[in-house]
Amino acid sequence: MDLYYKDKKKINFSKMHGLSNDFMVINCIEENFILSSCIIKQLSDRYTGIGFDQLLLIEKSNNALFDFNYRIFNANGNEVEQCGNGARCFGLFLLLKGLTNKKKILVSTKKKPLIIEFLPKNIIKVDMNEPDFTFHNLSSLKNILYKNFSIKLFRGNLICSLVSIGNPHCIIKVQCIKNAPVKIIGENIGKNPIFPEGINVSFVEIINKNSIKLRVYERDVGETKACGSAACAAVAMGIAQKLLSDVVEVELLGGKLTIIWKGFGNPLYMIGPATHVYDGFIYI
């Protein structure tokens, strides 16, 4: 072996994407890799690394009730609770690598379990659990539910809605998605001290009761081509406010998702594609 690689570890990975929201996926079932936030940042760099929005780790579950454990790290190395597009890629990876032959699996995450169901043509259905509008984890925000919430921004106040899909989302309704100031507002809300762990900021244009357009500024990442959990959050907000029906098509920059929610007391479902791009390996 070349001396350059002598003290380095070889890691096999897959590059995948869900509606252009892209991921580096590593199978940690046989061997659990410990990757520092510094290494994850290096790997996420699109010029000198692999390049990705999030890193996904597939682990063996310590609980017999679950088929696998699912971990997500943003490009800056921070571990996060949820990623909807990642969940679909996670499921497709398991199928492509022969790690499961089930039609439906239960996986554990940092916060809530997910049910992933395999449909034809690499279409994945994910049970994202029931949306949470209470935000009890934020000391200054209690029982705000799905009503409009006002955030101080620049010299005025911005009206938005707050929803958790296992991870936190701020939803802002706009007249025209094309002209939405995604970066400026997304950065500023994300740094607001009332969100100590940051928050995903989405801009939604409601076309009709069955269709919306969405752009998303993801915490620690920036604007991405798509965010599955944000699509779920935006639809949940619209249904709770009686602006949308229970089946909604969400158009993101990278493509479309179908979100189904029958309302309070019911789980929310996300349906969409996942794509395998290539397999590779890297020494770190």
Q: How far is CA 226 from the centre of its chain?
A: 9
Asked if residue 129 belongs to a known ligand binding site, the reply is no
What is the span of the domain harbouring residue 9?
A: 3-125+274-283
Same domain, 101 and 164: no
Residue from 28, 170, 227, 232 carrying the catalytic annotation? 227
Same domain, 96 and 167: no
**Domain CATH for 72:** 3.10.310.10
Same domain, 120 and 195: no
The pairing of strands 149-153 and 123-127 is unpaired
Asked if residue 108 belongs to a known ligand binding site, the reply is no
Same domain, 165 and 209: yes
Residue from 83, 89, 170, 232 carrying the catalytic annotation? 83
Same domain, 248 and 278: no
The answer to whether residue 227 is catalytic is: yes
Same domain, 162 and 226: yes
The answer to whether residue 83 is catalytic is: yes
Same domain, 110 and 156: no
The answer as to whether 132 is a domain residue is: no
Q: How many domains does the chain have?
A: 2
Same domain, 100 and 154: no
Asked if residue 167 belongs to a known ligand binding site, the reply is yes
- pLDDT, one tens digit for every residue, the chain (284 residues): 565 566 788 899 999 999 999 999 999 998 777 889 999 999 999 999 999 999 999 999 989 999 999 999 999 999 988 899 999 999 999 999 999 999 999 999 988 899 999 999 999 999 999 998 876 555 444 445 456 777 877 777 888 999 999 899 999 999 999 999 999 999 999 888 888 888 999 999 999 999 999 999 999 889 999 999 999 999 999 999 999 999 999 999 999 999 999 999 999 999 999 999 999 999 88
The answer as to whether 49 is a domain residue is: yes
Asked if residue 228 belongs to a known ligand binding site, the reply is yes
